[in-house]
Structure 1
Amino acid sequence: MSSNLIFMFSGQGSQYVGMGKELYDNYEAAKKVLDEADQIVDFDLKDMIFNGPEEDLNNTKNTQPAIYTVSAMVKAVLTENDIEPAAAAGHSLGEYSALYAAGVLSFADGLKLVRRRGELMDQADPEGKGTMAAVIGMADAEVEAVLAEIDGIVTVANYNSPGQVVISGEVEAVEAAGELLSEEGAKKVIPLTVSGAFHSPLMEPAKEELKSTIEAVEFKDAQIPFIANVTADYVKKSSEIKDALIKQLNNSVRWVETIERFKADGYEDYIEVGPGRVLKGLMRRIDRSLNAYNVEDEKSLNKTLKKLK
């Protein structure tokens, strides 16, 4: 397989009712993954993924195991077609799928972790004090300068592509920042429908608990090159991967730098593995010279296989 192929794994927001259904119905490898997942979690995961309701699937404690599992289903089908990654990364939640792909975590351990992570993130902000918003059409440094002027907690959660960041923090602070960013020249500020201020200091209550959960799980050293969200650099040792994963909960996802680093090291082909095409879309904004594909169903699988074979 291509020695410069990256698997990149989708994060929250990519889920939809019915994701993975075609692969489940047509590929034994995908069916096996979801059937195994269903035995591990404490609710009917398959029913929720295929039938919803959407409101339940969108609750972070369900979204996280759902996306992780569908991503693993896609990966299993790619493996069956002799498509293997030379390196991997994942956006926020997707980092757990990337660690599974990199041989750091077993599928079962990764699934239990993301279920727990989802529960903790859901509980971290019971009163709904936190929110997030996407900021379009403004340079990173300009966004950071505006945030520094705001009273209260508001930080950059995701550096997604040039001119697109997500901010996160207390509702009042995020709203005030949104108004000031619009005045200072942001093209758009879009409030996000989320159940908390992810990747911000408001996730601190969940961090200690997540830390003890992660520390209790066996991690292996990465078997292929893996770039962490919080450092935008390669991490190989299992202990360092654990540290990066714990920090990720309340720190920024440095996605632009992650892709730029892969490019600098000669990686040219990128497959978004899992539901949606968010990361594929970001690739176009980060660097159009790179080849970006996605696999989530029969059509996208066949299209990608045709391009890569």
Structure 2
Amino acid sequence: MGKTAFVFPGQGAQYVGMGKEFADNFKVSKRTYEEASDFLGIDMKGICFNGPDEELVKTENTQPAILTTSIAILRALEELGIDCQMTAGLSLGEYGSLVKSNVFEFSDAVKLVKNRGKYMQEAVPIGSGIMAAILGLDRSQLEECLKSCRQHGVVEAANYNSPGQIVISGEVEAVKLAVKKAVELGAKKAVVLPVSAPFHCSLLKPAGERLKYDLENLKINPPKIPVITNHAAQILNCKTQVIPSLVEQVSKSVLWQDSVELMIENGVDTFIEIGPGKTLAAFIKRITKALDKKVSIYSIEDMNGLKALTTSLGGI
């Protein structure tokens, strides 16, 4: 019997209206938004369901908004008796997996990610750092490309999302040069992304240090189910690993492809993406295709997604 993994999306998945169908249909989901509003002193339902977009895309709002939506949907699934044996999340999504695994209380996690968003935004002056997506180069080709651009500033691999899709991050001049060189090396596509800071590179180290202080003041529990960490693509075995892992995660590469491969090695054959968007499902499809593995993948962001899942599980 194969295992099921719950996976949680990261920043960039947000949109106005996310989670509304769950809040309308499940009391436990509605209550999750109300809890987040109380914990943070902001109208979480208002921001998620009505926007405006310019409020939702502020990093310190985006991060708690996505986490709240993911947990609101997670709680509805749990109420229906749908569960998992392993969990992971992309960047911010890792906090969803830590809540699922009972490492953090939701109340602590949602405050933590609001601060995380603020620290990440404040670590680098606006306009001095950017990110770009590189499609169609393998890791060794990309590393050569980045190496040759480093005399112009910081440029590093930020996300290994799936085979042939890597995101880079760093200082503007170095990243723009890397985009140009990647195309010369045969990348199918290399585009600068519309993000507000150069996430997951060494420029973000000060944000990790500020986050460490917050983490040290939280109650952390041992994981109830295995959580795969982003920065090492390894199973989080004990609570002492939580703080160093989340501090590192802010300024190190997100090893998403490696994390999915590890879950498959550990017997996962069903992936359920919980939260806004279908980005992780697309990455997992590409990763499993490259491995020639057959898995079931579901994205649960609305009632249609939930219906597809419950139908396949025999109409829970």
Q: TM-score, normalised by structure 1?
A: 0.98
Per-residue CA deviations over 1:281-309 (Å, capped at 9, x if unaligned) read 11110004121111011111111111123
User: Contact between 1:3 and 1:86, CA under 8 Å: does it hold in 2?
Assistant: no
| 1:293 maps onto 2:298 in alignment | yes
Amino acid at match of 2:138: A
| 1:93 maps onto 2:104 in alignment | no
**Which position in structure 2 is the counterpart of 1:19?**
18
Following the alignment from structure 2 to structure 1, what is the Cα–Cα distance between the partners of residues 125 and 257?
31
Equivalent position SS for 1:293: strand
User: Contact between 1:274 and 1:296, CA under 8 Å: does it hold in 2?
Assistant: yes
Per-residue CA deviations over 1:247-288 (Å, capped at 9, x if unaligned) read 000000001111111111111000001000000011110004
Aligned runs of 1:162-241 on 2, under 5 Å? 162-241=163-242
| 1:257 maps onto 2:258 in alignment | yes
**Which position in structure 2 is the counterpart of 1:61?**
60
**Which position in structure 1 is the counterpart of 2:280?**
279
Aligned runs of 1:145-156 on 2, under 5 Å? 145-150=144-149, 151=151, 152-156=153-157
The size of the alignment, in residue pairs, is 308
**Which position in structure 2 is the counterpart of 1:243?**
244
Per-residue CA deviations over 1:67-125 (Å, capped at 9, x if unaligned) read 00000011011001100111100000000010000110001011010011011111112
In structure 2, runs of 5+ residues without a counterpart are none
Equivalent position SS for 2:214: helix
Following the alignment from structure 2 to structure 1, what is the Cα–Cα distance between the partners of residues 128 and 138?
27
| 1:136 maps onto 2:135 in alignment | yes
Per mean C-alpha deviation after superposition, the further-off stretch among 67-76 and 281-290 is: 281-290
Note the C-alpha offset of 1:128.
Answer: 2.1
Following the alignment from structure 1 to structure 2, what is the Cα–Cα distance between the partners of residues 48 and 262?
34
Amino acid at match of 1:178: V
Find runs of 4+ consecutive structure 1 residues off by over 4 angstroms: none
Report percent identity of matched pairs.
41
Following the alignment from structure 1 to structure 2, what is the Cα–Cα distance between the partners of residues 10 and 187?
25
Note the C-alpha offset of 1:42.
Answer: 2.7
Note the C-alpha offset of 1:239.
Answer: 1.3
Q: Over aligned residue pairs, what C-alpha RMSD do you find?
A: 1.0
Equivalent position SS for 1:111: helix
User: Contact between 2:2 and 2:267, CA under 8 Å: does it hold in 1?
Assistant: no
| 1:302 maps onto 2:307 in alignment | yes
**Which position in structure 1 is the counterpart of 2:109?**
110
User: Contact between 2:130 and 2:198, CA under 8 Å: does it hold in 1?
Assistant: yes
User: Contact between 2:34 and 2:44, CA under 8 Å: does it hold in 1?
Assistant: no
In structure 1, runs of 5+ residues without a counterpart are none
User: Contact between 2:134 and 2:189, CA under 8 Å: does it hold in 1?
Assistant: yes
Following the alignment from structure 1 to structure 2, what is the Cα–Cα distance between the partners of residues 252 and 80?
35
Equivalent position SS for 1:287: helix
Equivalent position SS for 2:207: helix
